[in-house]
Structure 1
Amino acid sequence: MASSLVQKQKIMFLVLLICVLFSYGNANWYGTGMTNYGNPDSIDPNGNVINPLKKCGFDKMYLLGGSLSDTGNLISETVGSTLPFGKQPYSHGRSSNGLLITDNFAYEAGINPIPDTYKDLNLYYNKGVNFAVAGSTALPAELLATKYMISSPVTNSSLNVQLDWMSDYFNSATCLNDNVSAGCTDRYNKAIFFVGEIGGSDYQYAILQGKLTMDQLTDMVPDVVAAVINATRGVLNLGARRVVVPGIFPIGCLPIYKTLFQSNVSTNYDENQCLNQFNDLAKNHNEQLQEGINGLMRENPNAVLVYGDYYQAYKHLHRIATLNGA
């Protein structure tokens, strides 16, 4: 019960802020203001809460990313696999035993059913398309191998591959022959696009394979961020006008790193017992990502780009976890 409450708070924190920011044009979606999710328009004259996301009028969702978004592409490209696993009815294709952040966003926005996965050729894509692949990296697998000597053990469907799929789809007969004279570009002005979260797996593989020092990991950040920004620019060039680009989590708070790199040195940890060096890496990534998003805003004044601050959302839940019995 406690874990479901924490999950619900996480989802509501992420989804209830975004429409307000979209209504003001280009903005950063920061993880602050926890005591007041809404705005004056979120309450109707009878005192009923109005779902702010539905007020945005999103009609479709298109996703690039990794395991936080993938609802079936990895399992479809892995013949005979039963992974990722989970509990019914969410087990097919999700790295979760429940709905993902983007699933909940879709439902809260009134995009129902959720977008179909690109790899499922039997579906019709009437609510958008999910191109995300669990375990994918921001950098191409070949670049990771040649420049950083890191393997991508789960999939080679990196961010550039997913963008190619999106481009192919937007130029396909499925998209263009829908009796809409302007083709897909105008149709998707009411769509919401997610580019990520992605990039976390690049660092994860580097850390777990033990190939790079912390200084080398830090030197890797500009390449990873550039891959995300270039993909976002590609999405905008395809006609996207409302785009969310999430940052990565505070990876120093994740149990796998706290277990593998546990230390008796107190200064290695912050006040929440998270590993400073890995959280510093995540903050560096997110800061450079926001700088890149700001540059895209200047290049695309008619588009709305929002930075999704998953880092602060996670940190907030980490701080209040004991209040919810976690």
Structure 2
Amino acid sequence: MVPLVLTDDVGKVAIGKQVETAAEFSGDDSGRFVDVLIISIPYSVSWNDLLSILFSDKRLNVVLIQFLILRILSLLLNIKVVLPPNVTVPALLVFGDSIVDSGNNNHLPLTFGKCNFHPYGLDFDGGVATGRFTNSKTPADLLVKELGIKDLLPAYLDPNLQSKDLPTGVTFASGGTGYDTQTSTLAEVIPLEKQLKMFQEYLEKLKSIVGEKKTSYILANSVFLLVAVSNDLANTYFSFGFRRFQYDVPSYADFLVSKCSEIIKELYDLGARRLAVFGAPPIGCLPIQRTLAGGLQRTCVDKYNDAAKLYNTKLSSKLDSLAKNLSRSNVVYIDIYNPLFDIIQNPQAYGFDTVDKGCCGTGDIETLFLCNKFSKTCPEHAKFLFWDSIHPTEAGYKILVNRVVQENIHKLLIDPIYGK
């Protein structure tokens, strides 16, 4: 039996730690410790028994139970993705923006959308600024490891990329891009259409390495990840406002969903069968948007969040339709809005102290070149949800990826014929 200790004042869970006194765990100099819950969980607990243990404890409400289950999964059982029998995932192939860019923008001469300098990468292996828009690993890195494929997902444009890296996947993502070509033009980055051309080039290289038959197998069994739209809504539509002369919010959301659908169909025609598509996050709660449009109190910007939610509703419906019409495929909508918004609303439950500012500089506005080697960073990186004023820390990404995997991986891996 392993003691699980939760404190409602610091919002932490300790797993596998013997605690003699409450004060020992709380780290409170005063020795105070509020409402300690101690629940004994066996290592070999079944799901039914686990739920019975949690639901029978009258001190726990449903929200707390959900949180505890997630923490038990990630900390106590240390579960990675368990693939169904006869299911393999040979590669992860990623398209999109800065959330999943491992350094492709490093090789673009005209863009300001780069972060291959400190303090970016401060917590990466060796403290190297690789061009990832965070302090360490991206969601793509975390997911490729979670799937048991490899430790990191390299950028396709990385000059150090080797032939042996290709069969297990790369990222074509470019920070600052979006579904709207105007978005990538403004940022001087790689549009999604060009990312698809890079993917076609990748396929020719892959065929030369493993052959046509093995390439087809890799495509049909790999996970394809599409992460975009935040720049379209936050920058092209709201901040710069160019598209507001042509579209209201509902019609712009329709335009973006149509563009996303085109990308999915092209990937499908090229052989992709397991496609995960991220929805929009609560863009109005990003630190930079709080600063620019959240008033003196820097509150979340409701109209930005409302636009994100409207887009997500339309996207989810479209993906359901595509999943039915694209034979032998799994096209899955990934809700990132609600998990991220829940962290922002309940930071202590997830171990964060600050969710309205980035760790870099003042945290209000610094991102890209404004977050640089002269910028001070917060003392405890893992206590901040955001690294700069736009991008989460690795600590934030870990929580989000864990939830995304637990809620969606079975939808991606289920047999597309018998599972529907």
Tell me the TM-score normalised to structure 2 length.
0.59
Q: Deviations over 1:87-140 (max 9, x none)?
A: 343521111112111111111111214233221244222421211101112122
- The within-5 A match list for 1:206-221 is 206=236, 207-211=238-242, 213=244, 216-221=248-253
2:221 to 175, 190, 200: 190
Structure 1 stretch 74-83 or stretch 225-234: which is displaced more?
A: 74-83
3-state SS of 1:178 partner: helix
Equivalent residue, structure 2, for 1:72: 103
Q: Deviations over 1:48-103 (max 9, x none)?
A: 55422556632211010000000011112237989314034352111111211111
CA contact (8 A) 1:152 1:205 kept: no
1:127 aligns with 2:168: yes
1:288 to 314, 329, 332: 314
Q: Go from structure 1 to structure 2 and tell me whether the alpha carbon gap of 1:180 and 1:287 turns closer, same or farther (over 3 Å shift).
A: same
- The residue identity in structure 2 corresponding to 1:201 is N
Equivalent residue, structure 1, for 2:80: 51
CA contact (8 A) 1:113 1:127 kept: no
1:87 aligns with 2:87: no
CA contact (8 A) 2:105 2:113 kept: no
- The residue identity in structure 2 corresponding to 1:167 is Q
3-state SS of 2:185 partner: coil
Instruction: Find the aligned partners of 2:78 and 2:152 in 1 and give their Cα distance.
Output: 23
CA contact (8 A) 1:73 1:133 kept: yes
3-state SS of 1:182 partner: helix
Q: Deviations over 1:128-185 (max 9, x none)?
A: 12111011121223xx6xxxxxx83322411111112112322x1x221234352522
- The residue identity in structure 2 corresponding to 1:51 is K
1:157 to 190, 206, 210: 190
Q: Go from structure 1 to structure 2 and tell me whether the alpha carbon gap of 1:220 and 1:183 turns closer, same or farther (over 3 Å shift).
A: same
Equivalent residue, structure 1, for 2:292: 260
Instruction: Find the aligned partners of 2:201 and 2:321 in 1 and give their Cα distance.
Output: 26
Give the deviation of 1:294 after TM superposition: 0.8
Instruction: Find the aligned partners of 2:250 and 2:113 in 1 and give their Cα distance.
Output: 35
1:115 aligns with 2:153: yes
1:232 to 264, 281, 285: 264
Q: Go from structure 1 to structure 2 and tell me whether the alpha carbon gap of 1:176 and 1:262 turns closer, same or farther (over 3 Å shift).
A: closer
1:104 aligns with 2:142: yes
Q: Go from structure 1 to structure 2 and tell me whether the alpha carbon gap of 1:241 and 1:211 turns closer, same or farther (over 3 Å shift).
A: closer
- The residue identity in structure 1 corresponding to 2:302 is N
3-state SS of 2:158 partner: coil
What stretches of structure 1 move > 4 A for 4+ residues in a row? 32-35, 53-56, 79-82, 212-215
Structure 1 stretch 174-183 or stretch 63-72: which is displaced more?
A: 174-183
Instruction: Find the aligned partners of 1:242 and 1:255 in 2 and give their Cα distance.
Output: 33
Equivalent residue, structure 1, for 2:280: 248
Rg larger in structure: 2
1:168 to 194, 201, 209: 201
Q: Go from structure 1 to structure 2 and tell me whether the alpha carbon gap of 1:277 and 1:184 turns closer, same or farther (over 3 Å shift).
A: same
CA contact (8 A) 1:62 1:128 kept: yes
- The residue identity in structure 1 corresponding to 2:175 is A
Equivalent residue, structure 1, for 2:383: none
- The residue identity in structure 2 corresponding to 1:204 is A
Equivalent residue, structure 2, for 1:315: 341
Instruction: Find the aligned partners of 1:275 and 1:246 in 2 and give their Cα distance.
Output: 21
Q: Go from structure 1 to structure 2 and tell me whether the alpha carbon gap of 1:189 and 1:287 turns closer, same or farther (over 3 Å shift).
A: same
1:205 aligns with 2:235: yes
CA contact (8 A) 2:104 2:131 kept: yes
Instruction: Find the aligned partners of 2:308 and 2:113 in 1 and give their Cα distance.
Output: 31
Q: Go from structure 1 to structure 2 and tell me whether the alpha carbon gap of 1:80 and 1:299 turns closer, same or farther (over 3 Å shift).
A: closer
Instruction: Find the aligned partners of 1:190 and 1:256 in 2 and give their Cα distance.
Output: 39
Q: Go from structure 1 to structure 2 and tell me whether the alpha carbon gap of 1:82 and 1:203 turns closer, same or farther (over 3 Å shift).
A: closer
Instruction: Find the aligned partners of 1:227 and 1:279 in 2 and give their Cα distance.
Output: 21
Give the deviation of 1:201 after TM superposition: 0.7
CA contact (8 A) 2:90 2:218 kept: no
Q: Could you list the runs of 5+ residues in structure 1 that have no partner in the other structure?
A: 7-31, 145-150
CA contact (8 A) 1:116 1:127 kept: no
Q: Deviations over 1:10-35 (max 9, x none)?
A: xxxxxxxxxxxxxxxxxxxxxx9655
Q: Go from structure 1 to structure 2 and tell me whether the alpha carbon gap of 1:255 and 1:53 turns closer, same or farther (over 3 Å shift).
A: farther
Query: Would you say how many aligned residue pairs link Structure 1 and Structure 2?
Result: 275
- The residue identity in structure 2 corresponding to 1:175 is L
